[in-house]
Amino acid sequence: MKTLLLNRKELCRSTWEFTLAKPADTLHQAGQHITVKLPRLLHEDPKGPQRTFTLASAPHENDWLIATRMTGSGFKKTFLDLPLNTELEVNGPMGALVRDERFPALVFLAGGIGITPFRSMVQDLHHKGLGVDVHLFYSNRSIDSAAYHHLFAELAEQTFFTYIPTLNDEPDAAWRGERRILGIELIQSHLTNLNAFAFYLCGPPGLVTDLTNQLHTGGVNKERIFSEFFWGYP
């Protein structure tokens, strides 16, 4: 399946968002991902010209959005250097990190660029006006590395949605939000009766595994935990 690279912009420090044309008659569920194959590499990359990206766009949006940390790999450098309207090959959408409709109250736990499926899910729920109770805990080192922070802050002022960013190394003393590590202690300070929620986790493998173990220890039923790893950002 073919698409076009329509646009790109810097979201925050070391993080870029790419806009792709949505192929005709293509459907996806919020939280799913695609694979993207570049037509050529302008910079050498031993892992080749293909990567997997979660769609940050909601199903109702006109184009596909993907966001990624820029790590200096040949693939990422090529993606930045390709001319707009370059044709790309894509597969998908696919993936099982989608909302389970059995659970009307949701908690999203994101680390770093693991925020992308939750951007899609939050926008989808907002668009549908389902009135689902949603809490998003989003862990970053500092505000300038928090992708989509301002979008979530704006949504939290007007909708069903509660946004809890935590910045572990934010240098600005004016920051009055959370600074704690994303874990069960932080979660329980904002929520009671954890088994009233379904938990969706996305981020680096160490974070996702640790949070899963903490939720199990905290008494959350296994059927209420859904997760996806981001295996680095090559």
Domains belonging to the chain, first-starting first, are 2-94 (2.40.30.10), 105-229 (3.40.50.80)
Q: Are 33 and 55 in contact (CB under 8 A)?
A: yes
Query: Coil, strand, or helix at residue 174?
Result: coil
Give the number of other CB atoms < 10 A from CB of residue 8. Answer: 16
Q: 89-109, pLDDT tens digit by residue?
A: 999 999 989 999 999 999 999
Q: Are 164 and 138 in contact (CB under 8 A)?
A: yes
pTM over 0.75: yes
Report how far residue 90's alpha carbon sits from residue 96's, in angstroms, rounded to the nearest whole number: 18
Q: How many CA atoms lie within 13 A of 167 on its CB side?
A: 17
The strand ranges marked E within the chain are 2-12, 15-21, 33-37, 50-54, 63-69, 87-94, 105-111, 133-140, 161-167, 198-203, 225-229
**What is the residue-level pLDDT of the chain in tens, covering all 234 positions?**
999 999 999 999 999 999 999 999 899 999 999 999 999 999 999 999 999 999 999 999 999 999 999 988 999 999 999 999 999 999 999 998 999 999 999 999 999 999 999 999 999 999 998 878 999 999 999 999 999 999 999 999 987 899 999 998 887 778 888 999 999 999 999 998 999 999 999 999 999 999 999 999 999 999 999 998 765 544
Tell me what the pLDDT averaged over the chain comes to.
93
